[in-house]
Structure 1
Amino acid sequence: MTSVFERALGDDFGRLHPRLQRRFGVDGERDQGCVGTGVMDRVWRGPAFTVPFLHVGTLRHILFPETGNDIPFSIENYAYRDTFGRPTLTFVRTFQVRPHRRRRFDATMVYDPAREVLVDYLGTTQHLAVDLDVTALPDGSLRIRSGAQAFRGGVGCPSLIRGDAEVRESWDERAERFRIRVTVSHRRFGPLFGYHGSFAARYVEAGSPVPAAVRPLRETSVAP
């Protein structure tokens, strides 16, 4: 099973740094998963008016209102076939925002061969589908930008409430760690939410069970 990122990038997959090729090449055959643990140097949010929207995001494991520095972080990427038979890769990010409070940011990524695009299904019930533009940059890092978005019922997401995301991930040779930077912004209201930091990764042997906790509660085939 070819990884969803290799499908999306095609020949450009080979332009990624070798460490990123393995990390984003998780396909269930070579590696069942990649589990990263580290620290986000900073987790931030936009102005006060964003707080109610971020609180709503906590109900579906998407966004959250807490901020801070040196936040313990983990990311779980597991490859499997979903109930529609599609190769899928989980992106479950956990932030220890308080000593007794964790927040999650859940997503599952599926490659749509008919449209030749990677689709990011957000939340525990995949209630928002987002097309992704993925690019291997000249320095070997990976850039992901969000595109068209649609709710679970197939209704397009209005621009008034739409957030646009950009993710950059790279390999730091000196620190021997992955570095990640995520920014979610609104075309009118500016930056809404984001984080940046670094993590180390270990790989899960092919054939290992995929934890039920990283799978969504419901799946959908709706795409933008």
Structure 2
Amino acid sequence: MSIYKQILGDQFYRLQPMLQKRYTLPDGKPFKATGTMNKISGGPKWLLPLFLLGTRWKFLFPEQGENIPFSIVNSSRIGANGENQVHWERIFQFPKKKRYFNALMSLDFNEGVVKDYLGEPSLFYSELAFFVSKEGHMRIESRKQRFVIGSIEIPLSKIFQGILQVNEYYIEERDVFSIHVVITNPLIGNLFEYEGEFRADDF
């Protein structure tokens, strides 16, 4: 059973059927898709050095634009500690650069959250809460966050966090998944946002 079915419980079956299929992730069969991000935007220019540094860890990036080719691969695996994990590889193909926004997720069933380690190696940790909207959309929101330095994890107060909101749904008429990701900060405002569509390669 995928970590997403476990965390959502009975809610999982209220997802749109194609979202259920996408998040089931049977063993040995990754979810692969390609598409286009209609819009990618970021925060203020003074954050440019931080976003450039993030590219070294396949985390955040400074490029912005419209109609950017996109691909995603979600792969299930067993971690060194024996827990079920899902690796997320998200690639944004800008005209002169290929940028990544990668993560490794696992389940903390006792806390009712998905553990999300962002970057390779991990640079940032966020607890994620998963919900199903009344329309059958997948909704994701961030909770506690930590800055990661090797084996050390430093808790971040709310004022320093990147607050995540995700809405993903399926458009039957066009046979595409639609995604909208927004990361904001209480002081700075918008930090990172992308919105677009993708189509599964082998559904």
Q: TM-score, normalised by structure 2?
A: 0.93
**Residue pair 1:136, 1:143 contacting (<8 A) in 2 also:** yes
Q: Answer 1 or 2: higher relative contact order, Cα 8 Å, separation at least 6.
A: 1
Letter in 1 for 2:184: S
Contact 1:146–1:164 under 8 Å retained in 2 = yes
> How does 1:29-178 map onto structure 2 within 5 Å?
32-98=29-95, 100-152=96-148, 153-178=152-177
Identity of aligned residues (%): 32
Structure 2 gap ranges (5+)? none
**Given that residues 69 and 94 in structure 2 are in contact (C-alpha distance below 8 angstroms), is that contact kept between their aligned partners in structure 1?**
yes
Cα distance in 1, alignment partners of residues 113 and 183 from structure 2? 20
What do you get for the CA RMSD once the two structures are aligned?
Answer: 1.5
Q: CA–CA distance in 2 between the matches of 1:190 and 1:106?
A: 23
Task: Work out the CA distance in 2 between the residues paired with 1:24 and 1:47.
Answer: 34
Unaligned runs of 5+ in 1: 205-224
Measured after TM superposition, the shift of residue 50 of structure 1 is 2.4
Is the 1:32–1:203 Cα contact (8 Å) retained in structure 2?
no
Runs of 4+ residues over 3 Å off in structure 1:
158-161
1:4 aligns to 2:14 (yes or no): no
- Alignment partners' CA distance in 2, 1:116 and 1:85: 19
CA deviation vs aligned residue, 1:126-170 (integer Å, no higher than 9, x gap): 232210011101111101111101233132024443211111110
Compute the displacement of 1:52 (Å). 2.1
